[in-house]
Structure formats: C-alpha cells, structure tokens
Amino acid sequence: MNRKKHKTGVYRTEYDEVVSLPDGNSPVLLGSGVITGILGQGGSAVVYRIWNEQLGIYRAVKLLRPTASMDSRERFAREIKILAQLNHPNIINVHSVGEWKGLPYIEMDYVDGASLEQLIQEMGPFPLNVVLAMALFIARALDYTHSHKYKIRNVEYIGLLHRDLKPANVLLPKHDVLRLTDFGVASFNTVTITSTSQTGRVTGSMQYLAPEQLGDGIVDHRSDIYSFGCILYEMVTGEKAFPERHVAKLVKQRVQNNYVRLSKKTKKTPRVLTNLIESCMSLNPSGRPSSMKTILSYLETMYRRVEDRRPESIIRSFINGEAISSKSKISGIHQKISHGSRFFTTVQGFFFGAVSIAFLASLLVIFLHSPRSSQHDEDSFSMAEFRRQSGGGASAQPRENPILDSLMSRFDTRDTVAVISKLDSDGHYEELREVLQRLPLELRARTGMRVRNHRAIIALGGESYSYYSNNFISDGEYIYDKGTFLFEQGEYQRALWVLRDALTTPALLQNEQEFVINVRHQMSRASTKIAQRTGLERDYRTAYDQWDTLAQLMSERPYLPLYEEAQERKDNVLQELEELF
C-alpha cells in the first residue's frame, strides 16, 4: 500500500485513510511478531515490544511516526544503514528492517532491563568498580564505532560519531552485557550543530553535547569523548554535570564549560579517575584525550588495579541488587594511586615492560583541569616545619646541615625552599644535591624536591637507562625528560608513548602552557622519525597532525622560531606524504 503526504503532514494510504499507530494494547502484527506493549516514545518514532512466537523471544521494533519530518525520516533511513553495519557485543543488534503500512521500522534486540539514566536516578552515585565496569563497555563500543569502516552507497567511511551520547542511550540488560543504542543522529563527516527548542527549553541530550556542538565548532570523535566524560561524571556523582534546564542559562554554562569540578564535588573518587573525567570534559577539544582507544587503555588498567572479577558480572550483580562490596584491592586504590611512586618502584622492568605499564604511569595524574594549588602547597615548607620534621618542635634545632646554614647566610633568608629554588635556578646542582640529600626523608620525598633532585642528576650526567628503570616521579617534567632521553637513543616509538603520558601529567615546577608546547614539539619530532623509519601513510599523517597542532599552539606567537619550524616541518611532511602516496 503506497503512502502519500497530506498537506497537514500526516501520511495517508492510497485510500486516503489516516495511518494510526498501534496503541500497544492490541496484538497487532509488526515485524517478525506481535505487539505486546510500548517500550518508549519520541517525537519522531515509537518503540514497541513484540513477541516472536517461532523463536520464543521478545524483540524491539522502532517504528517511524506518520507525522515525522523530512529530516527525521532521513535520519531514520541513515540509522538503518548504519546499524546494519555495526557488529559489536556492546552495540544493539539489528535483525531486520521493513515497512508497516508504509512506515519504515527497525527490528532490534529487546533489552530486558533499564537504561543507565533510570539506574542513576534510582541508585545515585555508583561504587567505583561499577563505574569502571560500565565505562569499559561504553568505551569499547565507542572505540569500535570511531575506528570501524562503513560503506554507504558505494562510498567508504572510516569512523562514526554517535553525537548523542547520554545515559538514556545506554541500556543495561539483566542477563546480558551493556548495550549502546540510538544512532539516529550519527554522522561520518565533521558537521556543525545548533540545538535549541522553540519553547526555550532544553532537550535531554543538550546537557551532554560537547561545547562545539552548541555553536559553529567542528565536531569530531572528541565531541563523543566530551559526552562520555559527562556520563562518567553522572555515574560518579549521581548528578548531571549541567543540571540547568533553561536554554539561556544552560548555554551560558556550556559556552564557559562552567560546571562544578569533580575534584570539588567529591573526595571519594581516586584522583586518576577524577582527572580522566575532567580532561574528557575539557572545553577545548585539543585538551581532551586523543582517542577512545587511549581512554580505553587507561580504564582497563584502572579496572585491573581495583577488581579481579569480570566487568559484566559486577554490573549484573549491581543491577540485580546483589552485594558488590569492594574487595580489599578497591579500598586500597586511593593509597596505591596517591603513593604511585612507591608502587612503581616495585614493578620489575617498568622501563622495558609492556605498554600497559607505560600507560599506567600516565594514569597517576591526568592534568588539564586538575587544581594546582595543593601541589604547590606540597612543595612549600618553612624552616619551622623543617625543624619539626627533623625531630623537634618549632623551636628545635634542625639536624646538622652546615651547607644549608651557609647558603641561608649567603642568600640572606631562613626559607629552605627559597634556598633550594635559588640553587636550582642558578644551576648550582652539586650544592643542590647535597642540600636535598640532607633534608628529612619526608620532605625529600615530596614531588617538588624529587623533581629538583632529578634536574640535578641530569645536569650532572646521571641520566641513563638504569636511572629511568629504577626511578619514577609522577610529574610531567620527569616523564618528558624520560621521553627525550629515549628519543636521543633512537627509540622513537617508546619516546612517543612516554611523551603522550607527559602531556597528560602535571608538571609541578613548569609553566603549564610552555610545558605543553615543549612536549608537543618533542612528540612532533618523534612522530616524524617514526614515519621516516616505517614509511607508512598513517605514520606520516600522524606526524603531520602533530606539527599542525604545534603550529596552532604557537599561532598567537608567530614571531618565535618554533612557530616557523612547526609550519615548515608540517609542509615538509605533507610534501613527503604526497610524493609517497
């Protein structure tokens, strides 16, 4: 039966009868079965539950409304083509497509359970192992969609953006694994999105869209990463990062990325997870993790540190209301992460170990939005504190340190940190090492003191494979120096891995902007060396992207030589790429 569009926008049959959708109460034939109820309704479609008698199973059928707009119909047709090419355990499966009285439908898996949105509303904040288990499955699904090849009308695409990630689109079966659904606005190409309603109210997904999706910004896989961060935030806190419902107020918050930082919202979440979430939610896409694959590696490492059981069993127990009290490993994660250097000194072969261990180093702190004040406080202490740590009260005498006493007289100060900073800035590294070695152990172990000692070791020629293998400092400067050392040894791939970690780790004693530029510069050099060594197109493209990112970082200071170098090297890589491929 053909359908025609009436002037009212309602589809009618060739007999001019209005198409009425089933109400869900009558056993109407739809797809491969009979309707048994309505699972959900939206502005453009209704999702029914059907019973397939032959197979003895329920399925879900998404049926387009007769009043759907042309744009909705086009999205529906695209969703059908996209879902047909997706094959992943954490993505909803499509079994068939067809028409019911001229209206298109998609027949999919029926999920007997709840959405993540419903679960958060019911349960509030999730336990750490549940958050990580769910994050793992969502990340796996997104990593797959972002890297999978698709073919639509004989045109091949690589990578699919979901563009509407939210808890309501994450389904949690009682007896199966987590499923990602609703690819109705998914896209292969970079697009711009503006999204406000005529009533001035916000649609549900508006609160999860990346800032660039709210204006004229370029949307790519990092937009999904932002939305993913919002979902993690909500699982951890039980609240939306952007709870505001009115458009004008919400848009202002979104443009400024003005939300209550997780680090201020809760102190129970391990720092490593807090920083990962906040980096995903960075206002600038360049400040977010580079890919879901990178995030997935972080999450897998974190999960292994806190849980032995399979993530699906953790989620299933949680959904079914069973006790999932954390094991001893979970209760100790705060200590293990906050004292990461102690943990790493016990890892044999850290420097030459598996890539996962290298990733674990970066997990200790992912900087971007992490607060700096507490770190600087950690490195500052008075002479009174020095005395207390030496074994006495504020009036007690420090342990014998004639060099420090002499330097205090020379620099006319009684501030130990001021003396150490002066030695560091003036390059007096032999004296600096002696002073540091005589500090009380608790003060000497602080990150700032360890970084300064690291600087002295490098300056005095102590840098070596053995040094980096047997020492670890959870500071970006140390990790950067390690990457630079590897680069100088010709180990470009390892250097790039380490430098990526440096990019996501705070450098306590460095200017943040300058430090990022230095790391990006070294990453660009390493990527170029890798491309020249492998001769692979993908490596050349990575090198080009690295130089292009550096050029953009330097664009506000085009008078500096590094800007000219970035532009020149970018052009050179592009020329080599064109000549080879």
Compute the distance between CA of residue 505 and CA of residue 275 in angstroms, rounded to an integer: 10
Q: Where are the beta strands (DSSP E) in 325-471?
A: none
Amino acid (1-letter code) at residue 61:
V
521 or 14: which carries more pLDDT confidence? 521
Instruction: Give the CA distances from residue 412 to residues 386, 406, 423, 452, in Å, rounded to whole numbers and listed in that order.
Output: 18, 10, 13, 21
- Domain residue ranges in the chain: 3-110, 114-327
316 or 234: which carries more pLDDT confidence? 234
Adjacent-strand bridge partners of 152: 155
Instruction: Give the CA distances from residue 561 to residues 246, 518, 564, 568, in Å, rounded to whole numbers and listed in that order.
Output: 47, 13, 5, 11
Q: State the residue for tokens 């507490």.
A: 374
Question: Which pLDDT belongs to residue 249?
Answer: 81
Dump pLDDT digits (tens) for 501-536. Answer: 888 888 889 888 889 999 999 999 999 999 998 888
- Compute the average pLDDT of residues 374-393: 40
Maximum separation of any 2 CA atoms in the chain, in Å: 103
CB of 38 closer than 8 Å to CB of 110: no
Is residue 228 pLDDT above 90, yes or no? yes
Dump pLDDT digits (tens) for 154-170. Answer: 777 788 888 889 999 99
**Average confidence score pLDDT of the chain:** 78
Percent of all residues in the chain with a pLDDT value above 90, rounded to a whole number: 27
Model confidence band, residue 189 (pLDDT cutoffs 50, 70, 90): low
Compute the distance between CA of residue 548 and CA of residue 528 in angstroms, rounded to an integer: 12
Q: Any idea what the Cα angle at residue 38 is, between residues 36 and 94, rounded to 5°? A: 85
Model confidence band, residue 360 (pLDDT cutoffs 50, 70, 90): very low
Would you say the C-alpha torsion 30, 33, 36, 40 has a positive or negative sign?
Answer: negative
- The candidate with the shortest Cα–Cα distance to 363, out of 309, 289, 312, is 289
CB of 161 closer than 8 Å to CB of 82: no
Model confidence band, residue 359 (pLDDT cutoffs 50, 70, 90): very low
Dump pLDDT digits (tens) for 260-304. Answer: 888 788 878 888 898 899 989 988 888 888 889 889 988 988 888
Any binding-site annotation on 62? Answer: yes
Dump pLDDT digits (tens) for 410-448. Answer: 888 888 888 888 888 888 888 888 888 888 877 888 888
Question: What's domain 114-327's superfamily in CATH?
Answer: Transferase(Phosphotransferase) domain 1 (1.10.510.10)
Model confidence band, residue 216 (pLDDT cutoffs 50, 70, 90): low
Burial class, 94, CB count within 10 angstroms (exposed 0-12 / middle 13-18 / buried 19+): buried
Question: Which pLDDT belongs to residue 356?
Answer: 37
Question: Which pLDDT belongs to residue 369?
Answer: 36
Domain 3-110 has CATH 3.30.200.20: yes
Please state whether 9 falls in left (phi above 0), alpha (psi between -120 and 50) or beta: left
What is the per-residue burial (b if ≥16 Cβ within 10 Å, else e) of 148-186? bebeeeeeeeeebbbbbbbbbbbbbbeebbbbbbbbbbb
